[in-house]
A = this chain, B = another copy of it.
């Protein structure tokens, strides 16, 4: 906004700058460092941080470094709760878990990342790999592919940070291959990937669409990678049926 380096600034603007800075740093920062990095007066930063700590939006650790506090966690919870498809999808996920005994997840995009909005564990001993609420690079997941269905190649390239195409094990996903996956997945509004984020897990996913038939979320099963083809198809059909029902209810709500 202002090109003057040390112009007087509004508290709000400083506040937003502080939050964005902490988000970028991803670790607690001392107030001195923060003031230096933001080019802001130390006294102003003390003032704003103090107010945010009082509100629980930031917290100070034992070294008086500041980082995000509990309140932002509760705000985020409220945010998810406000998404209608999370409310509907959660009940459906629970129902599917009970019917099949499998671990069911409801997944969506948040800006340029993928996240598990809700999860219900199955009855099998097969362990749970992903936590809810954690942001994951989109190319690491089956659902991520489905969720990009409404976008053009260029939009996808724009959206995803280049580093997200490297899997945790060091392999790179080629953009061309990725786009092909995306298009294949979207033809049937479903997809299967095996051994992607970890080698023992297979992920089955079906897309829930909004009123414009664009993918808005996915509902998925996490099953062992060695699950046989018959069981796999049976589960996929269940997912598709649930996704279709949810899509319909969602479009209905939008009117």
Contact = CB atoms under 8 A, between A and B. Distances in A.
Contacts of A95: 121, 128
A91 interface: yes
Contact of A28 (B55, B70, B82, B134): B82
B117 A73 contact: yes
Interface string A124-153: 000010011111000000000000000000
Query: Majority SS of interface residues in chain A?
Result: helix
A119 to B, nearest CB: 7
A97 interface: yes
Contacts of A156: none
A233 interface: no
A253 interface: no
Contacts of A67: 78-79, 82
Q: For the side of the interface on A, what is the size category?
A: 35 or more
Contacts of A117: 70, 73
Interface string A71-96: 11111111111100011001100110
A74 B121 CA distance: 18
A52 interface: yes
Interface of A: 10-13, 15-16, 19-20, 22-23, 26-28, 47-48, 51-52, 55-57, 67-82, 86-87, 90-91, 94-95, 97-98, 108, 110-111, 113, 115, 117, 119-123, 128, 131-135
